[in-house]
Structures are given as C-alpha cells and as structure tokens.
Amino acid sequence: MRKFDLIVIGGGSGLNVASHAARKGLSVALIEPGPLGGTCLNRGCIPSKILIETAEVAQTIKRAGAFNIQAEIQGVDFPAIIARTMDFVDEEAAGIEEAVKANPKYTLYKKFAHFTGPKKLMVGDEEIEGEKIVIAAGSRPAIPPIPGLDQTAFHSSDTIFRLLKLPPRIVFIGGGYISCEMASFFGSLGSEITVIDRGELLVSNEDEEIAAKFTEVFSRRYRVIKQAAVKQVSGPTSGKEGEVAVTVEVSGRTQEIKADVLFVAAGRVPNTDNLECAKAGFELTEKGYLVVNEYLETSVPGVWALGDIVGKAPFKHGANWEAKHVVLNTLGDKKTAVDYRVMPHAIYSSPQVAGVGMREQDLKEKKIEYTVGKYPYIKTGMGKALQDEDGFVKILADPKTRKILGAHILGTDASILIHELVVALAAAGGNMDAIKNSIHIHPSLSEVIQRAVNAVNLEGPATESGKTLMERTSNQTV
C-alpha cells in the first residue's frame, strides 16, 4: 500500500492546501476524477459569469430605448458564445493539470475514490493511505423524486454549459440563485422562460424584503409560477431532443407547461455518500455533510474538510477562506479557528443581489434589537443616470452600539457595492461611522451605501419613524 504525507480529495479549493504541502516538500496525492479546478471553474462561477456578462450586453441593447437610442439585437451566435466560454474553462483546467503533473511532489489520481478505513482510500484498483487527509470533494446537484424525471432528458448546472443550441423555451424547476442566474442568461438572449418554485418567493434564502422585491422584478420579465408542486415530467429520454412537458399543481389546479429544455436546480447534496464516509467512521449531519469543529477537523483525527462537503459557506470564496485555515491547521504550528461572521455572497442575475451578515428575519427570530436604514438607487445621481428604478440598499444596525448587523442590496452592481460593507464589518467592526465619515465620490453609485447608512434611525429600534427618516433623506439626489 502506497503512503503519502497528505492526501487531498478534490481538485478545487483543495488545491490551495495541496500546493502549500508540495512547497514544503511533502508527498501529496491529489484525487480528482474530473477536470481540475473544481466546480467553480468547470461547472459554476466562471462559466456562468462569462455567460451572464454576455446577457448583460444583450440587456443593455434591449434597454437602449430608455436612453433614447434606437438599437436591436440582430442575431445571437449561441454556439460561439458557448465555445468562447468553455474553451477558456477547458484551457484553464488543462493548465492546472499540466502544472500538477510537472511537480514531482504530486501524484495525481484521475479516478473515483472511496474510503476503506478512516485514513485509507481505494482509488480505482489501488489502495492508498495518508498521514493527513483533506476532504474537499464538494457537492453535486440534487435530483428530486419527481415522477418521470428519471426517464426524461433534463439539464443541471453540471451539463447546461455544454448546450449547443439556444432553446426557444426553457422551464426551470427551482427558484434559487442557480435557476435565476441561468434564467437571466437564457431570457436575455431570447428564450421564453418559465420558473417554477414551491415557495412564495424566489431566492428565498435572502433577506425577505430583498427576496420579495426580486420576485416582483423577475416576475415582470419572465413567467414565474409560485407555490407550485411539480407532479410529473415527461419527454424524450437522455441524449434525445423533443418537447418536454411539466405538470404542476397550484392551489389545487393542475396545468401543463411545455418547453424544449428542462433545467432542474433543486439544491445540492454533499459527495460524502460517494466517498462512503459514514462507513469509514466519519460523523455526518442529518443532510449528509461532514461534521467539523472550528478548526475544520472531522471526527477522525488527522482528517480535515472544507468547501461544499462541509456546507458552512457554500461559495468559492468560502471554500478558499476555509482552505486558508486548513493550511494553517494542517501545516502550521498553531491552530486557527474559522470566523464565518463576515461571509458575503452575491447573485449575478438581473437584477443582482448581494448580502452580508444577518437578515431581518434572523434578527426577529433571535429577538435582537435592531433598526433599519434603506435608500433607493434612483434617489442618487448615478442611480438616476442608470435609470435603476428598483435597486435599493438595506442596512440593519444595532441602535445602541451603532454597529452594522447585516447589509443587503438589490440592483446594479450589487456584487461590487457590497464590498464597502464587507470591509466596514471586517476592518472597522461594523462601526457605521467608518462609512458615514468617509468621503464618497459624487456622483458615484457608492453614494447609495453611505445614504443608506445615514438613513439608519439611531433613536431606537425599527419603527415607522425609521421609515419616515428614509423617506425624508431619500430626496437627496445631488
């Protein structure tokens, strides 16, 4: 049996740990049956954002009339859009693999693996053992038990980026961020979009007020069927083309929705079952995620885990943050606990959404005293220039300590604007004065952040007076 100083399972953020170990001269086994770079590079953040930027260009052309410019989209070369995106992805993945193979400290296993013991793995037909192990094997799309789905061709985030033709009609099962990002992309290019969700709000993990506004805006652009139960799907089998039919029930009434492509985004599940972690003695949560302590150590001594398979911060930047700590805790001299308190996220749909810290429903549930400050984009000079009628910033703060508890944004460049609040939380302890007393370029869009902070009612908890304050200050457009 071959033994290694370190075994890393997963070729995404686990590579950050593997590279540090290799630089220290340790022997490293890297297990990754798919292309290197992980979900983000190959099936997630990178291809989706390249495609969504294309959609943004299309949206700009469609909105040209609002700026008194006559313009129209004369054609969409969909195969070229996909090729431009995936050629880049494939080249990056190949480059990472080439670099790994060129380093003598690495042994790359391009095969599936499963645990045969707490620190032993069967990789293909070879069993290996690690002095230390890092599990960074990620998650995969959950496949809901919908009648007919196992016999019907459908796409998930694992396969949608290889689609060769722009579908005239596409139906999305699930109203989370993956569905909404992809619906924005396809809808902007001309596909007829239907989003089916079992709840009342799309992107329901967001602050409720943000989710409600997002649902309102999204429903203006696309067909959204809420509080719907998917009863059955039918259509061509995998690998074949043809019309797909989705039967849904809403308020006791059924209807059939037909489309050319079915996209399923019903959440994700960790890959602990494929690795047979439970059999090897690893403690798992009810949903199958690896249980880890504050140092990302699993229940098995000498084994750490990070990323989606842990489920604490299911974002690429979250996995990289965890990998940084795993490096310290596996290869350093002092243990360092992971601090998740300032973990931002963004949704790159149209409109964009971003958030950091606690949501209003969290504060209510925990009975934490708070106050609110909100400010609309359109009441700023740049918001008016952009004609963003729907965008707004929402600040949740402690009226006694003057510290930000959470911040949520819907609108243009929300994914960029949120970083001022991230820095204020991380570097200034959330003290609102860090933003209040900083000069903001006029008329930059960032002014909406400062004005939302200025709109926070520090005289007491969230009340009607707080709303009046927002209304009073929201007239400042210059």
Domains of the chain by start residue, with CATH? 2-140+269-331 (3.50.50.60), 149-266 (3.50.50.60), 351-473 (3.30.390.30)
**Closest C-alpha among 348, 298, 351, 366 to residue 136:** 298
Residue 147's pLDDT is 97
308 is in an annotated binding site: yes
442 catalytic? Reply is yes
Asked whether 397 and 370 are in contact (CB, 8 A), the reply is yes
Selecting among 20, 317, 325, 442, the annotated active-site residue is: 442
Asked whether 233 and 143 are in contact (CB, 8 A), the reply is no
177 is in an annotated binding site: yes
Residue 171's pLDDT is 98
Number of other residues whose CB lies within 10 A of the CB of residue 256: 11
Tens digit of pLDDT at every position of the chain (478 positions): 999 999 999 999 999 999 999 999 999 999 999 999 999 999 999 999 999 999 999 999 999 999 999 999 999 999 999 999 999 999 999 999 999 999 999 999 999 999 999 999 999 999 999 999 999 999 999 999 999 999 999 999 999 999 999 999 999 999 999 999 999 999 999 999 999 999 999 999 999 999 999 999 999 999 999 999 999 999 999 888 899 999 999 999 999 999 999 999 999 999 999 999 999 999 999 999 999 999 999 999 999 999 999 999 999 999 999 999 999 999 988 899 999 999 999 999 999 999 999 999 999 999 999 999 999 999 999 999 999 999 999 999 999 999 999 999 999 999 999 999 999 999 999 999 999 999 999 999 999 999 999 999 887 565 433 343 334 444 444 4
Report residue 470 as tokens: 């927002």
127 is in an annotated binding site: no
179 is in an annotated binding site: yes
